[in-house]
Amino acid sequence: MSQSTLFIVHKALPGKRDEVRRAWETHLAPSIESRQVHDAYFYCYDDSDPDTIRVFQRYADGADPQAFMQGPAYDAYIAAVSPLLAHPPVIHAATVAWAKDKAAPVTEKA
């Protein structure tokens, strides 16, 4: 298994976490949804800190996470969120050594 992952922490200025999310929804979410190399992506609010966002990204085998962070969507996002953050995002790269992956799609019941 050679899947790459990123763990990213965004520390928003006090009370700015929702504004950071709106910038993410505007600049990155559409690109992420359309990219096949993102096979898992979780944008999470930290339960213990109202100003922290934790992101988990998993990339398909052989994909380069750095390529996404060098594109125009990411540049626009960073420009929009930089004034809202206490410091630049903290990014940790990791290689998946083991995973439980439930491949069945989630369906809503009528």
Supply the pLDDT for residue 110: 40
**Which pTM was predicted?**
0.83
What residue has token string 């898992």?
A: 40
Domains along the sequence of the chain with CATH = 4-95 (3.30.70.100)
- Rounded Cα distance between 94 and 110, Å, is 39
- The amino acid at 52: T
Quickly state the pLDDT bin for 104 (edges 50, 70, 90).
Answer: very low
Q: What is the pLDDT of residues 80-97, one digit of tens each?
A: 999 999 999 999 999 888
Sign of CA dihedral 91, 94, 100, 105: positive
Better pLDDT: 109 or 15: 15
Q: What is the pLDDT of residues 12-71, one digit of tens each?
A: 999 999 999 999 999 999 988 888 888 889 999 999 999 999 999 988 877 777 777 888
